[in-house]
Structure 1
Amino acid sequence: MRKVFIIVLVAMGSFGVQAQGLKWETDINKAISVSNKTKKPMLLFFTGSDWCGWCIRLQKEVLKTPEFLAWAKKNVVLVELDYPRRTPQSDAIKAQNNGLQQAFGIQGFPTIYFATAKIKEGKPSFTGIGSTGYVAGGPTAWLAVADGILKTK
């Protein structure tokens, strides 16, 4: 009985952690809709999640920290634009992400671009705010750079 109780507590705790996690959109049209509704800019995270060492490091040191979680909920709509080598993706997501990579002129990973957008004639029209990538110094240093970019909007 005691083991069952412990298992239930662990399971409930893991659901709580997941519930507190951030929602990363992968569909740009949905992200634009949320961005316009909430009046928050989008944080577009261009990443190679399963092969890019700096992307993985940025995730670990910044994007998965409590400091970033609190900041992101208040300031941005999160959009992950992934270019994996081993993880399968739908053709629609691949096409969307490749188009966005070209539209923003992304040449290296990780790149984080802050932008707003409107849908005009069925296509997104973006207004860039600024960009960054990996910043040494953990979440405090990275968030200082991000706040500086967002102040210019």
Structure 2
Amino acid sequence: MKTIFSTLFLVVFSVVFNAQNRWENAKRIAAEKNELILLNFSGSDWCVPCIKLHKNIIETEDFKKLETDNVIVYLNADFPRNKKNQLSAELKKENVSLADQYNQKGIFPYTILLNSEGKILKSWEGIISGDALAFSKEIREIKDNQKP
């Protein structure tokens, strides 16, 4: 009986723990580590500018260094269309909620830099001009100008 109860408790605990969404987790991490949040709205399998943005900026070492240097927490709100690329129901729901709050016009790609409380510091509509190094430098400068 104890084994059944323990197993049931662990299952319930893991479901509740995993139910914490990525957005709340990103805000928590950003607050703990004094980081900013970079939220990107994309259509990974249909939006050509989104695909280019990911290839030329987000997937580069210059951009990834922002995460390893504790400058940003990166969050992608993806809206794929192809059946084979569909997200889980929970992730779809979270992405729709983020879009309702931060991307009501439905712009793709749309990238937003926020503080740990969710306040918008800067936004970029469409593909980001310049290269990953210039974009990373701009984000670092914004973070450096934030009050601790």
TM-score scaled to structure 2, two decimals? 0.71
Q: Distance in 1 between matches of 2:41 and 2:103?
A: 11
Q: Distance in 1 between matches of 2:108 and 2:145?
A: 23
Alignment of 1:96 with 2:125, yes or no, is no
Q: Distance in 2 between matches of 1:32 and 1:70?
A: 19
SS in 2 for 1:85: coil
Where structure 1 has 5 or more consecutive residues not aligned to the other structure, the ranges are: 1-25, 119-125
Where structure 2 has 5 or more consecutive residues not aligned to the other structure, the ranges are: 1-20
Question: Comparing both chains, which one has the higher relative contact order based on Cα–Cα distances under 8 Å and sequence gaps of 6 or more?
Answer: 2
Q: Deviations over 1:17-66 (max 9, x none)?
A: xxxxxxxxx71122122111111011111111111111110111111111
Q: CA RMSD in A?
A: 2.0
TM-score scaled to structure 1, two decimals? 0.69
Q: Distance in 1 between matches of 2:130 and 2:109?
A: 16
Write out aligned runs for 1:2-151 (5 A).
27-74=22-69, 75-86=71-82, 87-106=85-104, 107-118=106-117, 126-133=118-125, 134-151=127-144
Q: Distance in 2 between matches of 1:110 and 1:50?
A: 12
SS in 2 for 1:70: helix
How many aligned positions are there?
121
Q: Deviations over 1:82-106 (max 9, x none)?
A: 1111212122211111111111134
The structural deviation recorded for 1:151 is 4.9
Report the AA paired with residue 110 of structure 1: P
Q: Distance in 2 between matches of 1:79 and 1:39?
A: 16
Report the AA paired with residue 120 of structure 2: G
Report the AA paired with residue 97 of structure 1: N
Name the structure where strand makes up a greater proportion of residues: 1
